[in-house]
């Protein structure tokens, strides 16, 4: 592929992405699930926003984790970076938790530099846009490199970059940035670009999803071995070394986290793709679509997406006739991924191993779709070079008609899926009609296939628009009176919502508040144990929650929960009028407006306190990675800071390092001698220091190897 074609393909990929994102470029709407945020989540659903009655804003009910996790973490990362600090710690949730080590914060992902050039909502939107735009460009370039016809390359790149996997994970804005580097890695292998290959294997580990990044890394190495017959030690080790600053703290957090395996029955029957769901490869909305609220199954739609569109599948049978040697690695890989992601005799046995149930194998469907897209591209490439006759097309048409007939029979027996099948039948009829029009003369066939490619793109465009919300910038966490009050009043004191006043924990990170709760796949296990100790429950693999409130007198009767809230320094308790709460004497009402009530908890233990409850403790400065205090006591005592203990936190008393202990199993504490002292808690994790050192050494090693190569 020459420079001119590279440039034209880059322009074309950008323009196609621009069409899919027309709401962004033409209407000024941003790819963010703000529609669901204000319709379903407190405090916004309690207020009228953009003229809609409270909670009535129309929404697609997609991407709750985006505004509950990913966007707040990115907000905290950018704030800390802009203040000149490495974003190591998030003090707003779980009474404090690692931030950089949490892979999904993508704290060091290089493309995050966009947040320094644009406002956060705009930078977020550009990054969402770049996922399919870059993916389609790299995929097209790769397909051309392995010798596919431009039209076949276009089919493969569009099918992968706008297939169902990319579409339904798009606004997470992390997973797409992991998989976008895989086609570039394959291209680098074909071109023997060592530097590009190493960077392509390093960047996924910074992009926000370690399991998928690991799969990108492993498949690329397998592909390298197959294509070159060897594996270079530098290519194996240097990407891991470059990403060590992310990997080592992340592994440390994973080892200390509460994350555990899914229950076996749930995993096999809900997480894995069920045999009947394989029909979603051909008809993705056979069981409905959650964005239109007609998905009839009880599992998750986004975990079962297989489709790259119906049109490409017409060229898949040609693979059997193709002599392209690359087809074998893609066929085998696609088969293995599908085998591991579906419920079958092997997986029923295999996933009895608990360690294999900590994540979902359906996350690797992206690799199945890439393989399938390239295989259909190889099929179309052969289709363009083969002679075609009416007799051949009649046989293929008859097969399609028989398959559709069986499909309609199945829908009659099941009582659903008819609409999806009719939609597919229309596309099938259009494809067959174009094949018949193109038979006989190659130029007519090329024209027919060009039209078919546009039809395919339109099909993917429809699915893309159906699923993905675009909203006005006003729906990025709109200002509300209750949040304004809390930000003005609470300072670093923690808040908690009772009953229907509960606010999603991670919103505290976005809003600059402090919560004892949190929602994260990785958080310190001992903190979850501490929260659940008041209710005798089991630690959740993703949530750390105080016992939720139920009933008007529950706030009084649950003394264990009140004690827990007091110990965690929860000074402000939120309530709603519909709870009809009977508040204990320790709570003083300080706010009552718009149905919201705020109590000040007089029994809340100060955020920093001496165990003897004597002496004086004052917090001089409270920042994410450091807390400075002044302490005065007449006798030796223990200073307790009601923030989560975690390896890497150190303490200094009057400049001298001292041991950080655990209080109440989870909080930070130090022994204080008698007298007046300056105490500093500082987060200086050895895992990050080691990671930085290995990253620097790896970058220098890469530079040395490249210099040596250039000298030769």
Closest to 175 (Cα-Cα) out of 210, 141, 199: 210
- The answer to whether the Cα torsion of 586, 589, 591, 594 is positive or negative is positive
pLDDT digits (tens, 9 = 90+) for 70-128: 999 999 999 999 999 999 999 999 999 999 999 999 999 999 999 999 999 999 999 99
Predicted confidence at residue 162, as pLDDT, reads 97
Structure tokens at 558: 């649950």
Can you tell me the distance from the alpha carbon of 55 to that of 57, in angstroms, rounded to the nearest whole number? Answer: 6
Of 82-96, 162-176, 346-360, 401-415, which range is least confident?
A: 401-415
Structure tokens at 459: 């099909």
Predicted confidence at residue 401, as pLDDT, reads 80
Percentage, residues of the chain above pLDDT 70: 98
Task: Please check the confidence at residue 535 and state whether its pLDDT lies above 60.
Answer: no
Can you tell me the distance from the alpha carbon of 17 to that of 132, in angstroms, rounded to the nearest whole number? Answer: 7
Give DSSP secondary structure letters for 235-288. Answer: HHHHHHHHTHHHHHHHHHHHHHB---PPPHHHIIIIISBPGGGGGGGT-TTTT-
Task: Please check the confidence at residue 393 and state whether its pLDDT lies above 80.
Answer: no
pLDDT digits (tens, 9 = 90+) for 230-257: 888 999 999 999 999 999 999 999 999 9
| 683, β-bridge pairs | 649
* Mean pLDDT, the chain, integer: 92
Task: Please check the confidence at residue 301 and state whether its pLDDT lies above 80.
Answer: yes
Closest to 572 (Cα-Cα) out of 498, 506, 643, 484: 498
Domains of the chain: 3-388+440-467 (no CATH), 481-601 (no CATH), 608-684 (2.60.40)
Can you tell me the distance from the alpha carbon of 271 to that of 343, in angstroms, rounded to the nearest whole number? Answer: 9
């Amino acid at each position: 592929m020459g420079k001119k074609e590279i440039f034209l393909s880059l322009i074309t990929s950008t323009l196609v992405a621009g069409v899919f994102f027309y709401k962004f470029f033409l209407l000024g709407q941003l790819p963010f699930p703000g529609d669901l945020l204000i319709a379903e989540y407190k405090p916004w659903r309690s207020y009228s926003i953009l003229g809609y009655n409270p909670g009535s804003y129309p929404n697609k009910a997609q991407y709750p984790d985006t505004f509950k996790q990913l966007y707040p973490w990115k907000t905290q990362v950018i704030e800390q970076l802009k203040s000149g600090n490495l974003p190591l710690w998030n003090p707003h949730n779980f009474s404090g938790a690692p931030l950089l080590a949490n892979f999904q914060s993508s704290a060091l992902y290089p493309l995050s530099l966009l947040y320094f050039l644009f406002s956060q909502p705009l930078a977020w939107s550009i990054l969402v846009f770049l996922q399919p735009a870059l993916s389609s460009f790299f995929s097209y370039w790769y397909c051309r490199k392995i010798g596919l016809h431009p039209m076949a390359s276009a089919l493969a790149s569009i099918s992968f970059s706008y297939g169902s996997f990319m579409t339904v994970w798009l606004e997470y804005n992390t997973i797409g940035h992991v998989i976008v580097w895989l086609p570039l890695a394959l291209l680098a292998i074909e071109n023997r670009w060592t530097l590009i290959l190493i960077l392509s294997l390093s960047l996924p580990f910074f992009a926000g999803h370690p399991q998928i990044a690991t799969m990108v890394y492993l498949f690329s190495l397998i592909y390298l071995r197959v294509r070159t017959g060897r594996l270079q030690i530098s290519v194996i080790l240097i990407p891991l070394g470059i990403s060590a600053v992310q990997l080592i703290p992340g592994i440390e957090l994973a080892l200390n986290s509460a994350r555990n395996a899914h229950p076996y029955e749930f995993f096999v029957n809900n997480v894995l793709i069920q045999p009947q769901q394989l029909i979603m490869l051909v008809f993705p909305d056979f069981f409905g679509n959650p964005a239109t609220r007609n998905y009839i199954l009880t599992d998750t739609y986004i975990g079962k997406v297989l489709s790259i569109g119906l049109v490409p599948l017409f060229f898949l049978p040609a693979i059997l006739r193709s002599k392209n040697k690359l087809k074998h690695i893609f066929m085998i890989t696609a088969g293995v991924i599908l085998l591991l992601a579906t419920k079958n005799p092997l997986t029923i046995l295999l996933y009895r191993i608990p360690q294999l149930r900590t994540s979902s194998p359906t996350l690797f469907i992206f690799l199945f779709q890439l393989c399938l897209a390239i295989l259909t591209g190889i099929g179309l490439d052969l289709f363009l070079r083969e002679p075609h006759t009416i007799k051949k097309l009649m046989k293929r048409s008859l097969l399609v008609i028989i398959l559709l007939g069986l499909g309609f029979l199945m829908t009659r027996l099941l009582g659903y899926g008819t609409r999806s099948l009719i939609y597919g039948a229309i596309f099938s009829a259009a494809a067959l009609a174009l094949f018949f029009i193109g038979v006989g003369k190659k130029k007519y066939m090329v024209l027919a296939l060009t039209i078919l490619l546009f039809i395919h793109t339109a099909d993917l465009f429809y699915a893309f628009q159906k699923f993905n919300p675009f909203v006005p910038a006003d729906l990025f966490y709109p200002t509300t009176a209750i949040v304004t009050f809390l930000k003005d009043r609470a300072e670093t004191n923690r808040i908690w919502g009772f009953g229907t006043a509960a606010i999603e924990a991670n919103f505290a990170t976005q809003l600059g508040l402090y919560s004892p709760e949190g929602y994260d796949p990785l958080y310190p296990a001992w903190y979850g144990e501490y929260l659940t100790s008041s209710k005798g429950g089991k630690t959740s693999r993703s949530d750390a929650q105080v016992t939720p409130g139920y009933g008007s007198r529950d706030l009084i009767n649950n003394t264990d929960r009140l004690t827990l809230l007091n110990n965690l320094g929860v000074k402000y308790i939120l309530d709603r009028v519909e709870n009809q709460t009977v508040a204990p004497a320790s709570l003083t009402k300080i706010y009552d407006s718009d149905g919201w009530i705020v109590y000040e908890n007089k029994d809340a233990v100060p955020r920093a306190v001496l165990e003897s409850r004597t002496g004086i403790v004052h917090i001089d400065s409270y920042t994410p990675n450091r807390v400075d205090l002044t302490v005065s006591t007449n006798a030796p005592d223990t200073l307790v800071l009601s923030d989560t203990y975690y390896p890497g936190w150190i303490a200094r008393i009057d400049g001298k390092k001292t041991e950080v202990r655990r209080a109440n199993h989870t909080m930070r504490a130090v022994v204080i001698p008698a007298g007046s002292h300056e105490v500093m808690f500082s987060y200086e994790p050895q895992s990050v220091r080691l990671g930085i050192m290995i990253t620097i050494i790896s970058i220098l090693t890469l530079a040395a190897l490249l210099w040596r190569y250039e000298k030769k």
